[in-house]
């Protein structure tokens, strides 16, 4: 195309113009078209900058929102992790405790099996052994020690009842041979709850009766008797579990 279309849309053929006119026309055309071009591209740039700015704003807003969402999430995840660690520590300590407890129970079970097999009777936390032969009080005491036990120490009514129901005359671990009238158990504890049969202890006929047997009055709740320590009797050992 030989002509140039100006802004009005008219075709201007610069070849028909005189030289100065041509030059003026050309200059006019060139300046205008540069301005026009500049104004077009300037508008586009403005739009582009504005658009980019908007996009940045949107991105910033999105970032703000996601940070605001993410931070509490992070916080709660940390808390959850701490809680889980606490729970793990607790479970570990429980496991440790239960492992020890299991070992303790295993040992107890083995002890129980051992004493039960040898004919010991179990009552309220203790095993009891009733002899099948008779001995003096001192020999009976020694026998119990050899069995890892002591001559029975009666601490309360329930224990007295249990022993009475065995219906056997037996030495128990009570004596006043150190000081007449001061009764002491073989573990050195003083006598508190006592179950003397009526009239006992009596040092019968001024004999020295310094040791104690379960009497044969099994129907009576109180059936202890002081007897001579050299007498031969069955005996009762006790082992606390």
Binding site for Ca ion (CB under 5 A): 202, 204, 209, 225-226
Name the residue among 135, 205, 214, 139 with its Cα closest to residue 174: 214
Paired strand residues for 225:
213
CA angle 124, 129, 133 (to 5 degrees): 155
In the complex, the smallest distance separating the C-beta of residue 207 from ligand MMA, rounded to whole angstroms, is: 8
Q: Is 225 in the site for ligand MMA (CB under 6 A)?
A: yes
Instruction: Please work out the total of residues on this chain that contact ligand MMA, with binding judged by CB under 6 A.
Output: 7
Residue closer to ligand MMA by CB (options 33, 208) is 208
Residue closer to Ca ion by CB (options 2, 205) is 205
Question: Which residues within the stretch 204-223 sit at the binding site for ligand MMA (CB under 6 A)?
Answer: 204, 209
Asked if residue 151 lies in contact with residue 235, where contact means CB atoms within 8 angstroms, the answer is yes
Candidate residues 227, 229, 236, 237; the one interacting with ligand MMA per rule CB under 6 A:
227
CA atoms within 13 A of residue 77's CA, in its CB half-sphere? 6
Name the residue among 138, 160, 162, 94 with its Cα closest to residue 231: 138
Residue in this structure with the two tokens 């078209």, named with its chain if needed: 33
In the complex, the smallest distance separating the C-beta of residue 181 from Ca ion, rounded to whole angstroms, is: 13
Stretch that binds ligand MMA, among 35-43, 120-128, 143-151, 202-210 (CB under 6 A): 202-210
Q: Is 202 in the site for ligand MMA (CB under 6 A)?
A: yes
Q: Is 172 in the site for ligand MMA (CB under 6 A)?
A: no
Here the tokens at position 227 are 């007897």
Asked if residue 238 lies in contact with residue 141, where contact means CB atoms within 8 angstroms, the answer is no
| Residue ranges in contact with ligand MMA by CB under 6 A | 200, 202, 204, 209, 225-227
């Amino acid at each position: 195309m030989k002509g140039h279309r100006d802004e009005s849309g008219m075709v201007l053929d610069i070849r028909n113009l005189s030289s100065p006119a041509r030059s003026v026309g050309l200059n006019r055309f060139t300046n205008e078209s540069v301005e026009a071009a500049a104004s077009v591209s300037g508008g586009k740039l403005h739009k582009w900058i504005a658009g980019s700015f908007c996009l940045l704003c949107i991105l910033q807003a999105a970032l703000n929102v996601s940070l605001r969402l993410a931070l509490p999430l992070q916080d709660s995840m940390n808390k959850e992790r701490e809680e889980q660690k606490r729970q793990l520590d607790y479970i570990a300590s429980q496991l440790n405790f239960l492992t020890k407890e299991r070992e303790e129970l295993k040992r107890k079970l083995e002890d129980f099996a051992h004493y039960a097999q040898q004919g010991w009777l179990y009552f309220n936390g203790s095993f009891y052994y009733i002899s099948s032969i008779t001995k003096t009080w001192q020999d009976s005491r020694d026998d119990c020690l050899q069995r890892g036990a002591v001559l029975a120490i009666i601490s309360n009514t329930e224990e007295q009842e249990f022993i009475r129901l065995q219906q056997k005359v037996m030495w128990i671990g009570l004596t006043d041979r150190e000081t007449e009238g001061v009764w002491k158990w073989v573990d050195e504890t003083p006598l508190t709850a006592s179950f003397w049969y009526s009239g006992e202890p009596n040092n019968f006929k001024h004999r020295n009766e310094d040791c104690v047997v379960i009497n044969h009055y099994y129907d009576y709740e109180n059936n202890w008797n002081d007897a001579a320590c050299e007498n031969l009797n069955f005996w009762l050992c006790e082992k606390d579990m």
